[in-house]
Every structure is written in structure tokens, then in C-alpha cells.
């Protein structure tokens, strides 16, 4: 029993803290060099640029490994979450299952940066193929990522000022990360 407790404590210590400076992608990659390798591997496999992938992770989870949407409460009773989003990419259960089936990655986890970046690459590649959005257009890629492919086609997002502002912020962050990468790569 004591050995099990020690093992669980050791595994709990493996959790990755958010980077000290998420504004600077060079510092993020200095702190977590494996993320740099993971992002480049996803770019090579799926074609979505590193700066775009990392801007999505920054927006979706703030680089927090096991983040979930807030849980609403009624008095002191926790209610079900409004979304199954989880992990670095905030991938929801249905599309995560599609990803696992499409890539044969049954042991992948949304709380693993390598897997989250590969998922983002896979999904942005799918968005590109189905909607024709360039992988170098983080603003529209993000809208399609947030709304889903069908939701993007419906076009209701055009009237969602909050989503449009968020997508513009993601695009700005992607451009900023791209410029920073040119300085530190």
C-alpha cells in the first residue's frame, strides 16, 4: 500500500506546469524543449505551422495540461459541464474519438502536449481539406476549430462578435509567435 502511494505521488509530480512566460514562444520552448520537437513533428506530419499550433494551445488551455471548462453549480450541487473539452487543445470527446480512430492512436491523451499538437495538426488539416481554409490563416482556422466544420459552413459565426474577436486575437498571437520564432530558431 505504501509503495502504491509513493508511486501515485511520483506520477502526480509529472504534471507539467504552464510556462513562466507564455507570451514569448522562444521562452516557452526553452522551458519545454520537447514541445518544440512535438510542434515540429506535427507541422511535418500535417502541414500546420508551429506558430499557429502553439497559438491555438495558448488560447484553448493557456498551456495548462488538464484544464476543463468550468462546472456550473446549483447552490452547493455541482452540475454537469457544458462541454467535454479537455487538455491542451480542449478537444471534445466526439472529435477526439474520430482522431483516435483515424490515426490509430488508442493510447494518446489530450493531456499530453505531443498528442494535443498532433490532434490540432490532424484537425486543421481536415479543416483545410473540407473547407479550403489555408493552414496559414489562423483566424479562420480557429473559427472552424471552435465551431466545428459544420458550424463553420452554417456561417452563424459571422454574427458572433466575441468569437470573431477571439479569432483575431489567436491570429495576432500566431503572427507574434511566428516573428519570435524567426529570432530564436
What is this structure's pTM?
Answer: 0.89
Cell numbers 508551429: residue: 50
SS3 54: helix
Q: pLDDT tens, 161-176?
A: 999 999 999 999 999 9
Structural domains in the chain? 16-184 (1.10.530)
Q: pLDDT tens, 101-145?
A: 999 878 999 999 999 999 999 999 999 999 999 999 999 999 999
- Average of per-residue pLDDT across 51-77: 92
Q: What is the pLDDT of residue 16?
A: 83
SS3 158: helix
- What is the grid cell recorded at 100? 483516435
Q: H-helix or E-strand containing 77?
A: strand 77-78
Amino acid at each position: 500500500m505504501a509503495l502504491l502511494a509513493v508511486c501515485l505521488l511520483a506520477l502526480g509530480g509529472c504534471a507539467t506546469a504552464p510556462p513562466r512566460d507564455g507570451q514569448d514562444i522562444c521562452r516557452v520552448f526553452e522551458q519545454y524543449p520537447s514541445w518544440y520537437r512535438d510542434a515540429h513533428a506535427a507541422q511535418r506530419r500535417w502541414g500546420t505551422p508551429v506558430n499557429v499550433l502553439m497559438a491555438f494551445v495558448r488560447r484553448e488551455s493557456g498551456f495548462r495540461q488538464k484544464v476543463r471548462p468550468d462546472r456550473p453549480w446549483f447552490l452547493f450541487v455541482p452540475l454537469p459541464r457544458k462541454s467535454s473539452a479537455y487538455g491542451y487543445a480542449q478537444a471534445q470527446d466526439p472529435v477526439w474519438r474520430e482522431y483516435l480512430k483515424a490515426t490509430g492512436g488508442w493510447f494518446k491523451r489530450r493531456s499530453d502536449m505531443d498528442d494535443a499538437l498532433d490532434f490540432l495538426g490532424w484537425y486543421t488539416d481536415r479543416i483545410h481539406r473540407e473547407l479550403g481554409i489555408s493552414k496559414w490563416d489562423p483566424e479562420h482556422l480557429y473559427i472552424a476549430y471552435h465551431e466545428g466544420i459544420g458550424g463553420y459552413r452554417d456561417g452563424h459565426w459571422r454574427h458572433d462578435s466575441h468569437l470573431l474577436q477571439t479569432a483575431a486575437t489567436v491570429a495576432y498571437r500566431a503572427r507574434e509567435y511566428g516573428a519570435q520564432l524567426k529570432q530564436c530558431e
